[in-house]
Structure 1
């Protein structure tokens, strides 16, 4: 993935995060209160936004280090984390389906893996 595509992905994810957060605060308030999951929903939004910003940062790194292919993998790890971590929390918060909490940590592991890949890729002449 080139840096322009990465930055565009981050922008889309950022806009989506703001929309989801606003919808949760206004359109889903009663549902979130019904299931007692307002804080859970807010955690999902925060982590999605943090990692949309992380993807943006990786795009900037890709512009400087175009041969660091491990940064591509970091993007996919962050994206998987958003889908699994935040996605499972969104569903849990709005449906009360608690078994989804069991897969949430998989998304957390994807986030951690993404950050490790950023660490490994953020060096001059990174070839991996």
Structure 2
């Protein structure tokens, strides 16, 4: 149940972040400091991976013994937190050092995708 909540919250945050980056004063601020593209990248990756988290939550429910699915879920969740989260903080603070965190999130998401390759283990 918690995995479905995590996936849903990630999707909701992505929609809210996308809307705030597209409308009003926050959008103007992001455009003024030249960070709108980075904000949108964070939103895009978070939304795509919210769907992936939902699919993995379903896979774990169907295959509760799948260690690979649980590992993939954890890695992708951590990756989204680090990747999109660091981009959001970078854009909110305009402190470039936050960009150093972003690649670690990317690596975690890549590792999560690789773990997905092992989710189809046949049950006997």
Runs of 5+ consecutive residues of structure 2 not aligned to the other structure: none
TM superposition score normalised by structure 1: 0.88
TM superposition score normalised by structure 2: 0.90
Superposed CA RMSD in Å reads 1.6
Structure 1 position 110 matched with structure 2 position 108 = yes
Post-superposition Cα deviations, 1:48-72, rounded to whole Å, max 9, x if no partner, equal 0111111011112112211102211
Larger RCO (CA under 8 A, 6+ residues apart):
1
Runs of 5+ consecutive residues of structure 1 not aligned to the other structure: none
Name the structure 1 match of 2:44. Answer: 46
Name the structure 2 match of 1:37. Answer: 35
Q: Which runs of 4+ in 1 moved over 3 A?
A: none
Post-superposition Cα deviations, 1:77-123, rounded to whole Å, max 9, x if no partner, equal 11111111001111112221111111210000000011111111222
Name the structure 1 match of 2:14. Answer: 17
Q: What is the DSSP-based 3-state SS (H/G/I as helix, E as strand, rest coil) of the residue aligned with 1:120?
A: coil
Residues paired across the two proteins, number? 123
Name the structure 2 match of 1:56. Answer: 54
